[in-house]
Structure 1
Amino acid sequence: MTKKANKLLLEQLQNIAEGLGETFAPFCEVVVHDLRHPKNAIHGISNNLSGRRVGQPATELGLARIRDPEFPARISNYANTFSDGRSVKSTSIGIKDETGQYVAALCLNVDLTLFRSFQGALAQFTHIEDGRVHEHLDGTPAERIRARIDAFAASKATTARALSPTDRKHVVRALKKEGLLEIRRGANIAAAHMGVSRATVYADAK
C-alpha cells in the first residue's frame, strides 16, 4: 500500500472513529491504530476514556496482527481493563491492505462502570418482597389477562401466539395462581389471545 493510500485509509478510519465516539459518548472510546508503525501505533482517539495518547505503541492484539495475517479480523465483546481498574468491554477490528497484511485497526472500548451502577440500582428498585397480598391496579380483567400473557411472552423473546407448549403451561398456571382465570370468561380470553382452545387452557392449568 502506498503512503498516499495508507494516509487516505487512516483518514477514513479516523472519520469513522470520531462519528462512533460522538454517537456513543460518554461510554465508548474509539481508537485508530496504524499497525505499520507499531512503536507509535495510536493514530487517533475519539472520546478518550483510557488516558492514552496519540503516538503510543500498539497493544498485544495489534502486535499479534502484525505477526500473523491469519489472526482473526474481528474480536468482539472481550473483557478488558483501563489502567485505573475500570471494567471495559472491547471490540477490535483489523484492516488489511491489498496484499493481505494488517495495516490498521479500529478498536472500541466501552466503560462498563456506569452500566453496572445502573444494573445494581435497577435490581434494587425492581425487587419485590414476596407476600400474601395480591392487588391489581390496571384496566379491565380482560386487559390484565392479555397484558400478563404478553409480558411473559416478551420475557421469552416471542409473542403470545408463538409460545411453546411448555411456556404456555407456565403462563396459564401463573394466571390461575393469580386468580385471573377465575374471572368471568377468563379462560376464553386467555385462549383467544394465545390462539388455542379453551379446553387447552383448562388442560394447561391442571
Structure 2
Amino acid sequence: MPRKSPEQTILLDQLKQIAQGLGETFAPFCEVVVHDLLDPKHAVLAIHNNLSGREVGHPATELGLARILDPEYPQVIANYANQFSDGRQAKSTSIGIKDSQGKYIAALCMNVDLTLFQSFQTAIGQFVSVDAQLAPGESLDPAGTDLIRTRIDQFAARLATSPRALKADDRRALLQELKSAGLLDVRRAMETIAAHLGVSRASVYSYAK
C-alpha cells in the first residue's frame, strides 16, 4: 500500500467521522461505507449499518476502480439503482473525495435498502385508497376551511417560506388578507388558522385586530 500524505490521512479520518454520523442518523435502513481508494485491494475502511455483508478490508468496487483510473470520473453519482448480494433492491449514492492534487483518494457510499420502503408504499397505498363511488358527498371538514389553508399556503409561498415560519408582521398581513376575503367569517376559521400556523388562537385574534 502506498504511503499516505498527512493531507490524505486527515481527509480519510474526517471521512470516517462523517460516515459514522450518517450511519447513526439513517440507521438501520442505510448502509454507509468509506472506501480507501489508495488501497484498492483492501478498500473498505469503515462500514456502518452493514446491509451488504461486506467487511472492513474488502476490495474496491468497480465504481471505485473507475475513479482510481480516471480523475475526471464524476465526483457525485446519486440515487442509482443497485442490488445487494441476496437480491434486495437498493438505491445508492457514491461521492468521490479528492485531495488537493485532484486525485481520488476515497469514496463515501450510501446504500439504502428499498425493500421495507416498498412494503410501506404498498401498505400506505392500500390504506389511503377510497371508493369514490360509495361516497355520500359527506365532509368532516367545515366548508371553507380547505380554502383558508390554501390561501395561507399561497401567502407563504409568495414569501418563499412555510406557514409555520411566517414572522409576526407577515401573520398580521395574512390575517388582513383573509379578513378582506371574508374568510374569517367561516366557522372555526380562527381554530383552522391557528393550527395551520402552529400558533395559539389568542395569537390569531391579536394578529386580526
Normalised by the size of structure 2, how large is the TM-score? 0.69
Aligned-pair CA distance for 1:192: 3.4
Counterpart of 1:201 in structure 2 is: none
Where structure 2 has 5 or more consecutive residues not aligned to the other structure, the ranges are 159-177, 184-209
The 5 A counterparts of 1:1-206 are: 2-131=4-133, 133-139=136-142, 141-147=143-149, 150=150, 159=154, 192=181
Task: Give the direction of change, closer, same or farther, for the CA distance of 1:161–1:54 in structure 2 (3 Å limit).
Answer: closer
Task: Give the direction of change, closer, same or farther, for the CA distance of 1:106–1:143 in structure 2 (3 Å limit).
Answer: same
Task: Give the direction of change, closer, same or farther, for the CA distance of 1:70–1:127 in structure 2 (3 Å limit).
Answer: same
Q: Tell me the amino acid that sits aligned with residue 54 of structure 2.
A: R
Where structure 1 has 5 or more consecutive residues not aligned to the other structure, the ranges are 164-188, 195-206
Aligned-pair CA distance for 1:130: 2.0
Is the 1:42–1:56 Cα contact (8 Å) retained in structure 2? yes
- The alignment's C-alpha RMSD in Å is 2.6
Deviating beyond 6 angstroms after TM superposition, the runs of 4 or more aligned structure 1 residues are 160-163
Is the 1:160–1:193 Cα contact (8 Å) retained in structure 2? no
Is the 2:22–2:32 Cα contact (8 Å) retained in structure 1? yes
Q: How many correspondences in the alignment?
A: 160
Distance 1:45 1:13 in 2: 12
| SS of equivalent residue, structure 1 residue 100 | coil
Is the 1:14–1:32 Cα contact (8 Å) retained in structure 2? yes
Is the 2:7–2:99 Cα contact (8 Å) retained in structure 1? no
Identity in percent: 57
Counterpart of 2:173 in structure 1 is: none
CA displacement, residues 11-40 of structure 1 (integer Å, 9 cap, x when unaligned): 111111000000010111110000011111
Q: Tell me the amino acid that sits aligned with residue 136 of structure 1.
A: S
| SS of equivalent residue, structure 1 residue 45 | strand
Distance 2:182 2:60 in 1: 57
Task: Give the direction of change, closer, same or farther, for the CA distance of 1:32–1:125 in structure 2 (3 Å limit).
Answer: same
Distance 1:87 1:6 in 2: 33
Distance 1:2 1:142 in 2: 67
Aligned-pair CA distance for 1:2: 3.9
Distance 2:87 2:9 in 1: 34
Is the 1:94–1:106 Cα contact (8 Å) retained in structure 2? yes
Is the 1:93–1:106 Cα contact (8 Å) retained in structure 2? yes
Distance 1:145 1:5 in 2: 58
